A and B are shown apart, each in its own frame.
Chain A
Amino acid sequence: MYGALWRVLPGPVWLRIILLLVLVAVVLFALVTWVFPWVDSLLGPQEGTVGP
């Protein structure tokens, strides 16, 4: 899977590394901005309240 990704990326090794880092940054941004808050809302809230 990741081997295939590496082969799909164009250019010499240094360019591929830069492209990979950019990809990782994009994925991390998407995770923190949308995915993690969404997952967080699915998990039961740890409330600090008392209630029946």
Chain B
Amino acid sequence: MTSRETRAGRPHRRPTVLGVLGELLITAGVLVLLFLGWQIWWNNLVLAGQQTNAAAQQSQKWIDDAVKAPKPTPDTSTAQVDPPVMAKPAPYQPFAVIYVPRLGPDWKRTIRQTVDVERVLNSYTAGVGHYIDTQLPGQVGNFAVAGHDSGWGNTFIDLSKLRIGDRIYVQTADGWYTYTFRNFEYVQPSAVQVLLPVPRQPQATPTERLMTITTCNPPFHAGERLIAYNVFQSFAPPQDVPSEIAAAVGQGG
């Protein structure tokens, strides 16, 4: 013992079982705190930034493609022109970018087919998923999408701040679909009727073009779902970027 004391410069005790156990417990506590910090803060920052960048690139690509090879512009001089509706995308295919100015001036996410948690909602390049059996942007019926509210990029953490009339822009290769926010509904996680062509009315025939956003409520829990219903307002070709988000288009996070 004497020689070790001299070498270490000061005396030390032999490690006891209780001492090692205590250190292990403290280490475990620190690891749990680190994990929480990673999950709630760091991973969200990283994911949100990468998801925004991916959406910005996709968005810019569709605009550039349209400028290079313009499609024949549908005649919008009369109000009754139906917006184009794309073919059903394959699972996991990114087919739209969603902009919601109320969620932040640079807020944007890629929408991919299906609401698969690992491959779409938690993805570094997506964040919002499309319920595969619901309609597509601009289609009569219900275009329904889902995203996390807290965690994995905090996709829709501020969804409850939407105000009636707020714009939601959905960009596809075909152009810009503008929806306006109509109302919220707070439901149980099993309330699949919100995805129906006419939400909550299985027998009704759809006449409106709706968009439904589902997310978790309250933040950091999964007890309920927050549903935001939006109504189609107008369509514009790809190069006609809506003025409200013109500054945000192509801007990374």
Contacts and interface: CB of A to CB of B under 8 A. Distances in A.
Interface of A: 1-4, 7, 28, 31-32, 36, 39-41, 45-52
Interface string B170-210: 00000000000000000101111011000000000000000
Identify whether the interface residues of A are mostly helix, strand, loop, or mixed.
helix
Given A2-B23, A46-B151, A52 B190 contact: yes
B121 A47 contact: yes
Contact of A32 (B42, B149, B221): B42
Contact of A40 (B8, B12, B24, B39): B39
Given A4-B15, A48-B156, A50-B194, A36 B121 contact: no
Contact of A1 (B24, B39, B43, B215): B24
Interface of B: 8, 12, 15, 19-20, 23-24, 31, 34-35, 38-39, 42-43, 115, 117-118, 121-122, 129, 131, 146-151, 155-156, 187, 189-192, 194-195, 214-216, 221-222, 225, 227
Given A47-B121, A48-B146, A39 B35 contact: yes
Contact of B192 (A2, A3, A7, A51): A51
Contacts, number: 79
Closest 3 CB pairs of A and B: A48-B215, A49-B146, A46-B222
A2, A31, A39, A51 interface centre (most CB from chain B within 10 Å): A51
Contacts of A41: 118
Contacts of B155: 48
Given A1-B20, A49-B214, 9 more contacts: A32-B42, A41-B118, A46-B221, A46-B222, A47-B148, A47-B216, A48-B121, A48-B215, A49-B129
B117 A50 contact: no
Contact of B148 (A1, A36, A46, A50): A46
